[in-house]
Amino acid sequence: MNKDDHVINAVILGIGVGYLLAPTLGEPTLHAIVLVGIPIVIGALFPDIDTEFGTHRETFHNFVTLAVFLAFPIYFGNLFFVWMGVLTHFVLDLLGTKGGLALFYPATRHVSVPVGVTVDSRKARVVTLAVTGLELGVVWTLVHYGFGNLLRAPGVWDLFTTVF
């Protein structure tokens, strides 16, 4: 996908996840949207740094990058939800390119899916919105069925537990 699609996905996802974690439509919701949304947007844009440093869709489009952002909050207590942006970037790129991603980099064999669309396809925006809806459905399911603690993060978790 192109940069606009990554930003659209991240902004909608950040707003949606923030609302799902604090659905009061008041100050706690706005606070949750900011706490969750900004890191998601940062994570959604991060992998494309490899357009400047390294090889695009290889250097930072891989499981090592995702693992770093999954582990970082565990060890350092910050950068929560950046992993969600990185993950959604990968999903959109898998569905928004025919060339695939080097998910197992430095092994450069690219992984692709047979249903991907090209970046300049008129269907790219539809795919972006469908993926975003699916992601929000996963988060809603986690929260609705009592697994919201999997999204635990300082500040956000406090809002979530005071609302429920």
Contact in structure between 80 and 32 (CB atoms under 8 Å): no
Percent of the chain residues past pLDDT 70, beyond the cut? 91
Average pLDDT rounded to a whole number, residues 71-80 = 80
Cis peptide before 114 (omega within 30 of 0): no
Q: Is the pLDDT of residue 164 over 50?
A: no
pLDDT for position 140:
94
Q: Bigger pLDDT: 105 or 97?
A: 105
pLDDT for position 158:
58
Query: What residues contact residue 95 under an 8 Å CB cut-off, 6+ apart?
Result: 1, 113, 115, 116, 117, 127, 131
pLDDT for position 153:
63
pLDDT for position 161:
57
Give the model confidence (pLDDT) of 104-163 as tens digits.
998 878 998 888 788 888 899 999 999 999 999 999 998 888 777 767 665 555 555 565
pLDDT for position 76:
78
Give the model confidence (pLDDT) of 25-45 as tens digits.
899 899 989 989 999 999 999
